[in-house]
Amino acid sequence: AQTVTQSQPEMSVQEAETVTLSCTYDTSENNYYLFWYKQPPSRQMILVIRQEAYKQQNATENRFSVNFQKAAKSFSLKISDSQLGDTAMYFCAFMNYGGATNKLIFGTGTLLAVQP
Amino acid sequence: NAGVTQTPKFQVLKTGQSMTLQCAQDMNHNSMYWYRQDPGMGLRLIYYSASEGTTDKGEVPNGYNVSRLNKREFSLRLESAAPSQTSVYFCASSGWTDYNEKLFFGSGTQLSVL
């Protein structure tokens, strides 16, 4: 069974600085996606970034980038130039693909506070 | 706008009462899911449905039943609510969109069981 581990329950960063959120996962599959979701106080689940396992190049979306280390099964999220609106819970997630159903498995989350 | 519609947004039940959470998507997705979110535990999969007419258990199915009424709708039923089922519930659907597998979430249901 796949598992996703986020070892940082809470983190804090000063506005305009850079922060990295950690995520590790365990799987025996070769074909999968990895995701970072943001959940602000509104409770909405917002996709931040995704990474296909077969791609060696790290995904980037504006201020958000990942460090994907497939052999180490590590998938960290870097937020550059942190903004107050980045304050939220961040979830790392794993999805196997190619089967009948692609289930999304979540980590326990990291609560990020951006300080002014 | 296309998306996942989930109702109700809030609900308070007494122990032993029953209720059904409704979910509908208009993106023609085959797969649909129900998750519950609890502090410190992330989102845990309750049930999922790979296609109309099929359902399977996830990590935490006990105390719940589901129905995939048609391709659009996937409901979650609590037959006899317990305080341990106090949680935030999310419905989601997934499908192939713009050459990528994408997952879309509803806005969540805050359920309190007293």
Q: Could you give the CA distance from residue B69 to residue B55 in angstroms, rounded to a whole number? A: 11
Residues of A whose CB is below 8 A from B41: 108
What is the bridge-based pairing of β-strands A3-5 and A24-26? antiparallel
pLDDT of residue A9: 95
Query: Dihedral sign, CA of A23, A24, A26, A28?
Result: positive
Of the candidates A43, A91, A102, which has its C-beta nearest B108's C-beta?
A43
Is some CB atom of chain A closer than 8 A to the CB atom of B12?
no
The whole-number pLDDT of residue A93 equals 94
Nearest residue in A to B38, CA atom: A108
Average pLDDT over residues B23-49: 92
Q: How far apart are CA B101 and CA B8, in angstroms?
A: 27
In this prediction, residue B14 carries a pLDDT of 97
Question: If pLDDT is split at 50, 70 and 90, which confidence band does B69 have?
Answer: confident
Give the pLDDT mean for A39-68.
Answer: 93
Most A CBs within 10 Å, among B5, B101, B111, to test the A interface: B101
Q: A2 pLDDT exceeds 90?
A: no
Inform me whether the pLDDT recorded for B2 exceeds 70. no
Q: Which residue type sits at A95?
A: M
Tens of pLDDT along A59-84?
Answer: 999 999 999 999 999 999 999 999 99
Count of Cβ atoms closer than 10 Å to residue B34 Cβ = 27
Q: Is B48 on the interface with A (CB under 8 A)?
A: yes
Q: Across the strands, what pairs with A82?
A: none
Residues in chain B: 114
CB B19 within 8 A of CB B12: no
Whether residue B40 lies within 8 A of chain A, CB to CB, comes out as yes
Instruction: Find, among A54, A48, A55, A57, the residue nearest to A23 by Cα.
Output: A48
DSSP state for residue A99 in the 8-state scheme: S
Q: What is the average per-residue pLDDT within A32-46?
A: 93
Please, are residues B22 and B6 in contact by the beta-carbon 8 Å criterion?
yes
